[in-house]
Structure 1
């Protein structure tokens, strides 16, 4: 009896992956985004006590992780007026992290950022219309002069100069994805301006855009995200990862949204199959359509195949008129 109780206690004490996801927000390095007092693209402010907890010193370069697998590097400064569970950052940093005020980010030490040998930076086309003169001398040189700014490949930043602001994108960095722009770093700005991309695309949905299904999201992440991001774990213990999940619920409850969020957060290729559209009256054509979809997903592995209204592909013999719909969620 005592052995059974002990076994039960050890089971309840052991945390699974989904529980860890639910409790992640309690970690000391998880901070709430607040508006910056000092509008600097390279600086974030934290309370001195928070910096002490995270073993950070004034001027340290830190890695900040936001939504949709976005991260950036900034300089950490202490600010006693900043509340302890918060981190102050300006609009540019928030945009690079795909976060808004009140969202949660995680802060990590980043001691291995090297001085850059060279960086390639280009302006956005819509911010330089009608602008004449040398962009390097007018904007980039004064912006980076003796500032030792950390930059990340893919980040955007805004530089104010004269009567207008110009937005730039860090196209390439050497070495690595992060580096510090030092006085001897070569800054290249030759090339065609960057065309403005649509930042609000539907396929950029992330976990934080899905509301009201926190428990279900944690379970799905355990079943899908872990095998996609850490396949070696399953290989080492000889366990086959789950290959499919059936999501069911009324139309509009967020089944497709959840699948898109998982695909974006894990970096997997997303392939949507509409059940009724793939069906054909011609013999063998439906199977051929499905086979092509799976072959395409295999070429782009790791992939997530989402089959919408799977009941139309494999219906029950007796006709049913229920309001629930099923979606199959496969990862390969």
Structure 2
């Protein structure tokens, strides 16, 4: 019979690694099962909000992230080149760092805390939760036993599927295309939001003199090319960027779904496995780290027997489900404000932006952008 770990985490992405670091630094015997044999080198999520940075501090990687990231100190809304509003983030700057670089720092931290805890090339295929432990069957390794298990395996979570937990759709969906390119805007510390009739174009500075460009589409376009995105930017912007011909370009459908439960028996769900939040607004990764903080506390109580009898993850779910729902409402609002609009509707939207850019509206908008209350 294989040795029994304290906690087994399925998924070695940003959230699974973060939770593993939190557990390992408290001396918990943790193992992370990751399907991929090599780390992803795609930039993916880039925004790290102040609450997310505090969560990274708790895992011991906050300073390393600060050193590698750049700070977004303001957000500017424009339309046809005219300034509509400016929101300062000086007191709570949003950090920008490519997700693969953040994950690399978390992997380094976990390797220092618990050498060998991360097992790559291991794919979960079965899960049996008993009275005292959980047994996980996986390709690439012998069965893994643990007192508790966590699914941190993303929006297509195998853990969630094996538990039989359904998800329900929440408002907010839309097609988008994005690419990263050299930043020639002269606004190295500013997020630019271009509210145009055909849909918003957002851009965010990144380390290395790069900038991410994201365009709302009238309908999903899975075959989007760099040339296609360049045409969209040329049509909507007075001073469009020049995308490199080989710039990695992707199209995706942002949607929102919430798991009916965040835990079942000895298994909990965290991050995208529990809630698929639209990436528009950049809340998803930081939200997952806040989940991990709460789940770390719940696991500590479960491991020492001080948790709620019969429902060790009840407090975790009570705290994190409302937070996910608030994040989804904010993301829905962001998506609605950036959707294609007729001239009268766009005029009303621009007037609302101007109104929200001054007190008292500015306080609420800034809180939403900086993820306060989640």
TM-score (norm 2): 0.22
Q: Which protein, 1 or 2, shows the higher relative CO under an 8 Å CA cutoff with sep ≥ 6? A: 2
Question: Which one has a bigger Cα radius of gyration?
Answer: 1
Using structure 1 for the length normalisation, give the TM-score: 0.24
